[in-house]
Amino acid sequence: MCGIAGICNLSDSAKPVDRREIAAMNRLMVHRGPDDEGIWLSDRGNVGLGHRRLEIIDLSSAGHQPMEGGSGTQLVFNGEIYNYRELRKELRASWDFHSKSDSEVILAAYEKWGKECPRYLRGMFAFAIWDPRTQSLFAARDRFGIKPFHYFTNGNQLFFASEMKALMPFLENIETDYIALSEYLAFQFTLGDQTMFYGVRSLSPGHMMNISGGQIHIGKYWDISYELDFDHTPKFFHERLRELLDDSVQAHLLADVPIGSYLSGGIDSSLIAILASRHDKQNNAAFHGKFTSHPGYDESRYAEAAARAGGKELHQASMTAADFLSNIEKVIYHLDQPTAGPGSFPQFMISGLAAQHVKVILGGQGGDEIFAGYARYLIAYFEQCLKAAIEGTYHNGDFVVTAESIIPNLSSLEEYKPLLKQFWEHGLFDDLDERYLRLIDRSADMDGEVDPTCLNRESVVRNFQGVFNGNGSVHHRAYLDKMTHFDFKTLLPALLHVEDRVSMAHSLESRVPLLDHPLIEFVATVPADVKFRDGKMKTMLKQAYSDVLPKSILGRRDKMGFPVPLNEWYQGELRDFVQDIFGSQCARQRDIFNVDRIRNSIDENRRFSRKLWGLMSIELWHRQFHDQAQSYRSYVNNPPENMSVDV
């Protein structure tokens, strides 16, 4: 796990790459790789590569990057290749290996397969290879977006880095992308490759980039396919799932440093931790965060049950409002842009605890998106079941459960009654895409807090429909697949963005065994009535591992998804902090806010909502980056001592 950066000239008239520029990019990402640093510049000065290393595999100096290949190629790589040993055996006939690192395997794979090499890699990765023979730069990102790759061009040069903050010194102006802002306000994540920094983009998951002759070409090398398998029984699917997940967990334990596990108390992290213990009993540290002053948010008893089942030594962090006040600006800084909900705060704190004990951590990210673990799936399906019952369309292939069968499981929606009321207030039984958009749209109650000229509602709806309906390239036979596919393509990359940033803030490598492409490709073939039988969330995972998971966790209906007692804190220590944020002069000067309307809304509601979280995050983001634009621009030649709130 590392940080990569680079500059590639797009025209002969571009100035030579300056070593100080690469050094500045490295310096802004030092937390990603405190163990080693490398900088390489081409003889022509038309390309420069930078690397910060966190030593995980092959701790020797032979793993130093940028790494040179036999043909003069240069590699910078962030991530882990879990099948590198198998690839090494396959490639050694055509490549003389000088290290035991997975990095060198990428160079050998590129030498043999060229631009097709990402298809052979199993793991999480973002890398760039400079090829002097063709004077071209080739880059690729893993299939799910576990590892980041951000870039922008000023016309003469292309700049790329693992984190957006490393690009800030080279932006002529740090401006907000209002389409991305509109998407964030609607979903609390952005769609596609746009970021909230105008001009800065992310290489999409499963995509590669080639820069040659001043031209930038981006293409897709992988996508998920829903070719449903109706020929096998649930028993077959359960057994195959166990085979693939067991293999993935074993592969993700590959490291030359200590490994631990997150334990939230839910099914996904508990399962990964327990399975990891079966393969590696020495690395038995597990980590959990709790809010002991608010019992309704305490899930530690479930984490303790999973720890006992896996023979884990559980380390717990108790988090307070004071911790939030001391760390929220650090969280926003490391996220680069507002992403997802307040769960990034406890994730940041637990990553800090874990980093005191281990260098690699396993988590359960991805389980909700691939095994149907969100309550909104049940809400949306219940509506469509009623519609199908009324219209007599149960057997048209779009519905996998009946209204009668789903009713016994509706008790899990007890805490969602306010959402149900709001959801069914308008547009009942409308088209599937319109209903799901209404279910996940968080901007519906925006009442003038944001300047409407900064919002682009038409673009939000158009981009949402493109992903939800498959952009014409993905065919879904079930409503469940439409919903999970949208979240898989949009929400999951946002959550992985958070996972990467909060762990790397503490120089901790986070791994996600549920996101192994052989496993994902298999699950996509499983019919929805196996994954979501009778409207039971995660029923396939629960049934497959009923003999592994503790019964207290299997039977849970109250999993909260890492909630934070912000509303309770807002009644005390947090209130003045929030009021000061929106009462400040800098907030009043923003083009996007109607601060008086925000403050009135706060006074009227007297509660901390997800809407308020989003608005607060946007303001803190502006302070971290927009308000320090001049400092970033001078960073190359005169780096300030207190540029960041880096931990």
Q: Round to whole Å and give the CA distance between 148 and 134.
A: 26
The per-residue pLDDT for 375 is 86
With 0.75 as the threshold, say if the pTM is over it.
yes
Give the pLDDT confidence of 153-180 residue by residue, as tens digits.
999 999 999 999 999 999 999 999 999 9
357 and 302, same domain (yes or no): yes
Inside any domain, residue 418: yes
401 and 433, same domain (yes or no): yes
Mean pLDDT of 524-553: 91
Q: CB-hemisphere CA count at 13 Å for 333?
A: 18
pLDDT-derived band at 646 (thresholds 50, 70, 90) equals very low
Q: Round to whole Å and give the CA distance between 338 and 626.
A: 13
516 and 457, same domain (yes or no): no
Q: Which residue has the higher pLDDT, 448 or 326?
A: 326
Q: Quick check: 168 and 632 in contact, CB under 8 A?
A: yes
**Which of 18-22, 506-510, 553-557 is predicted least confidently?**
553-557
pLDDT-derived band at 63 (thresholds 50, 70, 90) equals confident
Inside any domain, residue 593: yes
431 assigned to a ligand binding site: no
pLDDT at 641 over 80: no
The per-residue pLDDT for 400 is 65
**Which of 20-29, 115-124, 256-265, 581-590 is predicted least confidently?**
581-590
Contacting residues for 228 by C-beta, under 8 A, at least 6 apart: 477, 525, 526, 527
112 and 258, same domain (yes or no): no
Give the pLDDT confidence of 82-99 residue by residue, as tens digits.
999 999 999 999 999 988
CATH value at residue 52: 3.60.20.10
End-to-end CA distance of the chain: 18
pLDDT-derived band at 145 (thresholds 50, 70, 90) equals very high
Give the pLDDT confidence of 280-289 residue by residue, as tens digits.
888 899 999 9
55 and 135, same domain (yes or no): yes
Inside any domain, residue 409: yes
CATH value at residue 266: 3.40.50.620
Inside any domain, residue 185: no
Q: Which residue has the higher pLDDT, 381 or 197?
A: 197
Q: Which residue has the higher pLDDT, 635 or 395?
A: 635
Q: Which domain holds residue 531?
A: 253-316+339-371+492-554
Residue from 373, 347, 340 nearest 442 by CA: 340
Max mean pLDDT range (57-66, 391-400, 452-461): 452-461
448 and 358, same domain (yes or no): no
pLDDT at 553 over 60: yes
381 and 365, same domain (yes or no): no
> CA quadruple 144, 147, 148, 149: dihedral positive or negative?
negative
**Which of 260-269, 389-398, 441-450 is predicted least confidently?**
389-398
- How far is C-alpha 114 from the chain's CA centre? 28
Percentage, residues of the chain above pLDDT 70: 94
Inside any domain, residue 584: yes
In this structure, the strands spanning 150-153 and 215-220 are unpaired
The per-residue pLDDT for 369 is 93
Which runs of E-coded beta strand occur in 54-135?
67-68, 74-81, 123-131
Chain mean pLDDT for the chain: 90
Give the pLDDT confidence of 621-630 residue by residue, as tens digits.
999 999 999 8
507 and 396, same domain (yes or no): no
Mean pLDDT of 428-435: 85
275 and 379, same domain (yes or no): no
Q: Round to whole Å and give the CA distance between 329 and 342.
A: 12
Inside any domain, residue 329: no
Catalytic residue among 2, 8, 117, 385: 2
pLDDT at 445 over 80: no
Tokens 């030649």 identify what position? 637
Residue 2: active-site member: yes
DSSP reduced 3-state for 559: coil
Residue from 80, 92, 174 nearest 516 by CA: 80
Inside any domain, residue 424: yes
3-state secondary structure labels for all residues of 504-541: HCCCCEEECCCCCHHHHHHHCCCCHHHHCHHHCCCHHH
Mean pLDDT of 323-338: 96
Give the pLDDT confidence of 560-579 residue by residue, as tens digits.
555 799 989 998 889 899 98
The per-residue pLDDT for 56 is 77
Q: Which amino acid is at 345?
A: F
Which runs of consecutive H residues, i.e. helices, occur in 36-101? 84-91
pLDDT at 206 over 70: yes
pLDDT-derived band at 583 (thresholds 50, 70, 90) equals confident
147 and 74, same domain (yes or no): yes
Inside any domain, residue 396: yes
Q: How many domains does the chain have?
A: 4
485 and 524, same domain (yes or no): no
The per-residue pLDDT for 535 is 81
Q: Which residue has the higher pLDDT, 606 or 245?
A: 245
Mean pLDDT of 302-306: 95
60 and 150, same domain (yes or no): yes
The per-residue pLDDT for 637 is 82
